[in-house]
Structure 1
Amino acid sequence: MGAMEPLLRAVMAEEDPARLEGAIAAARGSLDEADARTLRALQQRLAQGARREELLRTVSSIAVDVTTRRDVVGVLHEIVRRTRLLTGADMAYIALNTADTTFIRESDGVRTEEYRTLRMPIGYGVLGRAATGRAIVTTADYLEDAALSHIEEIDDIVRGEGVRSILAVPMTLREQVHGALLIADRTSREYPPETVDIVDTLSRHASVALDNARRFEEVTGALASLSAQQDEDEERMVELHEILDLDAGLLEALLDGGDLEVLARRVHELLGADLALLDAGGVPMVETDPGARLAVGLDGEALRAARGTGKPAVSGGTTLACASSGREHLGTLVVGRALAPRLLPRVQRVAVFFGILLLLGRAQQDDRRRRDRAVIDALVRGGREVDTVRGDARVRAVRPGTGVRMVAIDVFDADVGPLADRLRAGTAHDGAVVALHGDHLCVLVPDAAADALSALLDVAGSGVNAGWSSPVEDLARIPAAHRSAELALRSLAVLGVRGRSADGERIGMVGLMAEAIHRDPTLPSPLLVLRPLEDYDREHGTELTRSAWAFAESGRHVPRAAQMLHVHPNTVRQRLERIAGLLGEDWRAPARFLDLHFALRMWSLGREEAGG
């Protein structure tokens, strides 16, 4: 027992394994191998117990934090921070689910902003697969793991962060999956069962703790409201009910997807006054009574005061309140009467919700842009890329009987963003997809909504060219449809026209020639053969070029060409003689006429005859 006694004391003191091995080696002469193994096993079990005790302390600490701290963000950060410390991982993060995606809500140890704000479709990658709640997901080398569904854009973000190993555990609340708790490392690592158990335990306890925190906040808020109602007189009771009605209206607008008209209508009902919601530039977004013209002649000094102090300002017969995010001015709320001081906090409350709705709309718009670009890029590339966006409802809508068109749009040197937003808003209910692709704007639009898109492009003015494909009913044909629309657009560019549209299926070989010229501007233009006719028309105010086009398109049939031109056949014959005098008597010879007809078809693309 003499040799065992100091060793037992070392084990009970939880000395590190290296020191214990040294003590065993020093006492080797006094211990047999069985005693040494017994001591090692005892020391390992004590160490495991210590780690389990540390885990329980962490879980208890998280529960205490949740029940004592009111800010959910702080609680989430504390959970990921302690998870990272307890597992020794390079980073830890919590992801929360939306309807079809999961996104990182809070993280610790992440270096890049792209990874910190990562958003992943449900079912893809480690994060997306864990978000389904089916099982714990782990990988020792994410980028090389063929068992996972990869998305190229996400892989680039993971590569930029340097992540290799990931462990993800689903978080469930009342049998519903709300997200996942994850750890990750920048080296290849096989996570042992002990680490998996730690993250699993923290995930389950954190889920329960968060649920309890939300319940605690609800109960505390209800008790506070009840206490206030009991302490206030009848006038205060009426005021509280009005505030609750206001909050209900504001929440209705928020839950209605950020509908500013719902917000304006409810505030108008509760305040009994007309109002206008203006964007940051002072342009009305919603007005309960456009005839009131509340946005005209705003008091600049009052507006600066409202922006500078963050509080409503009363000027003459109006009340102003600003919606802000940090130092950014998002918009202005204008109420059509001077409100009493006791009502100003309500107006500011409305302005806060107005700002939230503007930020929500901005986030939704940004998300729509990203989704649209991913859809367009995947469909144009075709093949297996389509699988990455197949879950999008607009992609699922492409099936036999519901054709779609691909439209390629060139806005030249104009800002493509505003036009894309207008087209996206104008075709949103039709399920169109609008995104910048290469050097042009692409729109995937249902054939039934093609006229609506044409009308929007007409409103855009003469600075927009559009190339259209024919309707397709199969995802596999969309790359070819895009190619057709692109050829039409290139043809218009080579002709140097603006404000025109062309059908890729109808331009035929003209499109191929136009694309060749677009790629190599040094190639001679087929239009050169028409220069004598165009020069003559310009100098004499005649229509010889158009008459040659009608003659060619009618199959060299004079009466039919006359109908197309709305003139007498003799007039056509006289013009043909004039054309022969300019081009030569052999202009109708088959080989030369073929070149001439090709040039006339290209010429017609840039004019009203393009649709003829």
Structure 2
Amino acid sequence: MTGLFTSREVATGDLFAELLDMLAAGAPTDAFEVLLDDNRLDDFAGSVPDVKAAVWRAMRVHVHIQRGRSREAGLAALVDAARELAAPHESVDALLHAITRRARQLLRVDMAYIALLEEDRRHSRVVATDGHTSSLGVGLRLPADGIAAPAQPGGAPFATHNLLTDDRIVLSREFEEMARAEDLRAAIAVPLGDHASSRGVLYVASRKVRHFTADERSLISSLGILAGLYLETTHLRLAAETRAAESEARLSRMSATARDLNEYHDLQTALLDILFTEDDLHATASTGARWLGGNVSVYDADGALRTAAGEPADVEDTSVLAAVPGIRSSDPFPVDHRTWLVPLCRRQEHLGTLVLRGRGELTATERGRLDLVARTVVLILCRDNLARTGDARDRWLEDALGDEHRAPDRLADRARRIGLDLAKPYVIVVARPGPDLVRRAGAWAGGYVQRTGGLRGARDGHLVLLLPGTDASTAARTASASLESALGAPVPVGAAGPLLGTASLHEGYREAVRCVDAVVALGVAGGAASARDLGFVGALVAGNRDAAGFIEQVIGPVIEYDRERSADLVPTLRAYFDEGGSPTYAAGRLHVHTNTVTRRLDRVKDLLGPDWQKPDQALEIQLALQLLRVRELLEHRP
């Protein structure tokens, strides 16, 4: 105020002029308050009694001017917010985050968040936040009336200067915990859009006690209306865009499907013409090469090239056929970036392989064409095979196994017609492949019986081979090794024989099945054995008894001790029982000192308990040792 009064005789007009200058310059309210407190105004009491009243009027004018400016700034900020919200957003989440950011900037508060109602309309979930928060995050579930407050007429915003002390409101437990954790004080809650159809609430809050003005409440209410409108508009726009994209994609798929179906039909017609006219393998390969591109080659079950068509013409390299045993289905299968294989199978019989060379990745449509060509080739190969030999031999075995009461004379008569002489000895081999290996095992069996002069069939999930010979043990081990090599996985095998005539067929099959049961029960992956190999153990463990579990339960600690320390407790136990429980005789058998046997048996006592030599436990130990001996025999088969 320096220079305001130069003397006691300053004219009154100078004071009013200074007040007007202050108003024009936008002086702060503090300047007027300082003027009111200045003692020198008392010097005008006699001549200008209304000086202080003039200052008060100037202050009111100042307040109105500042309020107008604040309202103008708020409206400008609201217009900017409206422009941003009206712009297309790539997602609803992007719009929600823009709303919370604008709300916080509009009122200059600490945080803002939006909670949308769930379907039950009893709860809401936070979907967007702005401002530093620790307890309030996207996904937080709160009661729909997070702030339970008196209804506001017309959906007006509800404002409080202090959430935690305002006796007009009741906070839900979840909301109060969050408010205390965030130290929230002043807050405003406004519905998004029209109050009657609002789907959520926009909250703004400050960490300081604050009384929101009417202008501020009006601004945030307007923002809530705009936000609800733009939110609904964005929902509708995105939904329309999604429907349009789905319709376009559906039309594109329908067009592509129609085109693929037409082309598939044309290929199918061409292949059918070949089947009903030429019935020619080379014509089929040529048609496949023309439709697929590249070179189509067909090999028989022994790997010999039957025919080839297309480019490249040089297809003598058959190394790709090594991948066939590893393929678990007849579907097209890539072996490298330029070669596809299709195993040619009829039921469980492997007829050959189709190879497509010179092609990279195939589309689903092209794979379907390749599969159609392969099926046509299978039909032609089957016709060729039927013309040469037929499948009467395999049907005979399945019929013989299927009906135990079928007349032996009729079976023998049919056997003679297919060239099967049951007066010569034969063996039955039974394999039990897993469900995922059944088809490939059947394909392997077709080639195996052709090489060995036998028959193959299937019964009760078993693959059954009838082979000429007298040694069931050798037949089981040989078939097991060949099957494991072909499938790349071990398969349990059992065998019975030698057998003669049709009358012994069913009993031989049951004996071979019991041997498979025993191998499975002993827990040997891919074991192969006959009744002669198993002895009494086969009868003991057949029927899916858990022999492996029994061994582990009885002498598992001893086995584990030997494995970890390269010790000889198991051989010592065997020698001890074989020598009638005599440590001295056991030491002689093992060629060690008696004290060594005694120390080992003391260790057995520590592992199996003090009662290991009592009759009941000793019997279990001897049985477990015998089962372990048989299992080791099977595991070390040649």
The answer to whether the superposition gives a TM-score over 0.5 is no
TM-score (norm 2): 0.37
TM-score (norm 1): 0.39
Query: Of the two, which has the highest radius of gyration?
Result: 2
